[in-house]
Each structure stands twice: as structure tokens, then as C-alpha cells.
Amino acid sequence: MTTPLNVSFLGLGVMGGAIARHIGAAGHHLTIFNRTPARAAAWREANPALSVRQVASPAEAAEEADVVLTCVGNDDDLADVVLGPTGVFSTIREGATFIDHTTVSARIARQIAVEARDLHVHCVDAPVTGGQAGAENGQLTVMCGGRADAIEAARPVMEAYTKRIVHVGKAGAGQTTKMVNQIAFSGILATLSEALRFAEAAHLDLDKVYQAISGGASQSWQMDNRWQTMCDDSFDFGFAVDWMRKDMGLALDEGRSLGVSLPVAALIDQFFAEVQALGGGRQDTSALVRRLPRRGKA
């Protein structure tokens, strides 16, 4: 393996907790922080084989760290843990590397990159795709914005939990690429939902329909991994509708700032709002099918 580094991880939610586990298992010296200390303590108890230090503030986490990673909720959360009075950038050392895995606006990603430049810190905005399963299996894809030297400095740590690391452009480009991803897969889910309900209404054998169409032009990750679970009304997976609405809001805001029309994305965002109104906010995004009434089933 690479030389062990002093790595601090902030934000131990579904995705962050799994990523941090891989970092510790790779042999790096791990320090953790969570704004809810009890969650960090529970994470330590659930990973007794790892040698982990828990600290009380982002500033303390960043002291002496070679690499600091964040995976929090939204722009405000990120600004607080990075730029706040006791944030990462109040103590991070010159030459260290900062990696953000939160899905946030390109604006704050660029703001943090400017602050990092002034501190002589490598900075990467690095949202991920692959979902909870990808995080747990160490098979995430990371879309990285920032300077090439920053991505190379971050790579030895990111390789512990990824299958693909792509440098997509300058600061903020990682976040805008994530928006592209969310726009694209939301459309796939919307039409997959309609196709499934159409097949049910036609009293088709849904297993045979999948066999017939999954090897052709309509094949997708969502079809391969969610067709059966959508048939079964099973939506207990990693990426919740609430988080998707946050991400769609970011994409729609960015589209407005770029002067780009996103009518389909805006419509699907409202479809997700309907699922929230049905009580599905914490369900997987494939719960989009719930908004369509079931007319029949083979």
C-alpha cells in the first residue's frame, strides 16, 4: 500500500461512514469528527478493528493532518465545517490536501478553492456516484474539480474506496459534473417508472419483459438494479428522494445561472416532490414509481 497518512474525515453519514471505514482499513491514521458526537462514537464502536481518534471540532481534526475530507449535508454545513471560526481552514497546514465529497453548489466549491489557494492547500471538489452500495464496497466513481497536482495529492487516499477517479476540470467542475449525472439518471428513473406501470397495465410478465429489453437500447444501471425492486415496491436503499431534490435544486439553479433551459429536469423535480408528499422522502429515488397508480399486474 501507499505510505500511511494522517487523514481526518468529517461527516459520518451513510456515505461518509463507509468511505472512512475504507480509509482506516487501508492503513491510514484516521481522525474523525461529526457534528453529532454520538454518531462518531457509535461509528467507532461499530469499527473496533480500526485505530481511530475522535475529536471535538473541525479545527482539531485538521491539525497535523496530511489530508482532510468532508462529506456533510449542504452548502451551509460545508461552509460551517470548513470556513467557520472553528473550521478546517482555521488550522490546516500549508501543503495539506482538502477533499470534499459533499454534493454542493459549484459556487461554494469555487469559493473554498480560492481560500485553499491562499493557504497553499491542495483542494479538490470531489462529489461521488455509486450510491450506498458503491461506498460500502469501495467502488465509487469520483468526479474531481481542481488543479492536476491537487488531484494527484488526493489520489493515494481516494484509491482506498473508488473504482474510478476522473479529473473533469477546474475548481467547481466536479460539482457541475455531478449535476449532469443527477439530471441524466433522474430522467432514466422517470421513464423507467412509466415503462413499468405500462407493462403492468398490459398484464405482461414483468420478469420476461426485463429479460427481453435489458439487453437492448433501453438497458441502464437503473433497469438492471431497480426494475425488480420497483416491481416489489421495495425502496430501502441508500440515496433518498430528499437528497435528490436537494441535488436537483442545485442543478436547476446552476442551469439558470448558465442560461440553460432544463424543462424535463424541472418537471421530474416536481415528480419527486409528489413522492415526498406521499411520505417517501427518505425512500430511495426509485420510489418515483409510487406517484403512478398501479393499473394491473401479471
Domain shared by 233 and 154, yes or no: no
Domain shared by 208 and 263, yes or no: yes
Query: Residue 32 pairs with which residues in a beta bridge?
Result: 9, 54
Domain shared by 216 and 106, yes or no: no
C-alpha cell at 67: 489530508
C-beta separation of 177 from 143 below 8 A: yes
Q: In this model, does residue 150 exceed pLDDT 50?
A: yes
CA 285 to chain centroid, in Å, comes to 13
Residue 183 lies in a domain: yes
State the pLDDT at residue 298.
45
DSSP secondary structure letters along 199-268: HHHTT--HHHHHHHHTTSTT--HHHHHHHHHHHTT---SSSBHHHHHHHHHHHHHHHHHHT---HHHHHH
Domain shared by 97 and 221, yes or no: no
Residue 296 lies in a domain: no
CA 142 to chain centroid, in Å, comes to 9
Spatial distance between the Cα atoms of 213 and 204, rounded to a whole number of angstroms: 13
Domain shared by 134 and 119, yes or no: yes
Question: Annotated catalytic sites, by residue?
Answer: 178
How confident is the model over 49-86, as pLDDT tens digits?
A: 999 999 999 999 999 999 999 999 999 999 999 999 99
Residue 298 lies in a domain: no
Domain holding 46, by residue range, is 6-169
Q: In this model, does residue 141 exceed pLDDT 70?
A: yes
State the pLDDT at residue 295.
77
Specify the CATH number for the domain of residue 244.
Answer: 1.10.1040.10
Domain shared by 26 and 128, yes or no: yes
Residue 237 lies in a domain: yes
Evaluate the CA torsion angle 132, 134, 135, 136 in order and state its sign. Answer: positive
Q: In this model, does residue 240 exceed pLDDT 50?
A: yes
Q: In this model, does residue 1 exceed pLDDT 90?
A: no
272 membership: H or E segment, kind and range:
helix 263-277
* Final residue in a domain of this structure, among 134, 169, 204: 169
State the pLDDT at residue 290.
97
* Final residue in a domain of this structure, among 169, 193, 215: 169
Which positions ≥6 away from 279 have C-beta within 8 Å?
none
* Final residue in a domain of this structure, among 135, 169, 203: 169
**Range name among 194-198, 213-217, 234-238, 282-286 with the lowest pLDDT average:** 234-238
Domain shared by 94 and 181, yes or no: no
Residue 297 lies in a domain: no
State the pLDDT at residue 30.
98
The pLDDT mean for the chain works out to 96
Domain shared by 181 and 113, yes or no: no
Task: For residue 95, name the pLDDT band (cuts at 50, 70, 90).
Answer: very high
Other beta carbons within 10 Å of 3: 8
Specify the CATH number for the domain of residue 135.
Answer: 3.40.50.720
Task: For residue 238, name the pLDDT band (cuts at 50, 70, 90).
Answer: confident
Residue 223 lies in a domain: yes
Q: How many domains does the chain have?
A: 2
- Cα diameter, the chain: 64
Spatial distance between the Cα atoms of 124 and 65, rounded to a whole number of angstroms: 16
Burial grade of 70 (CB within 10 A; 0-12, 13-18, 19 or more): buried
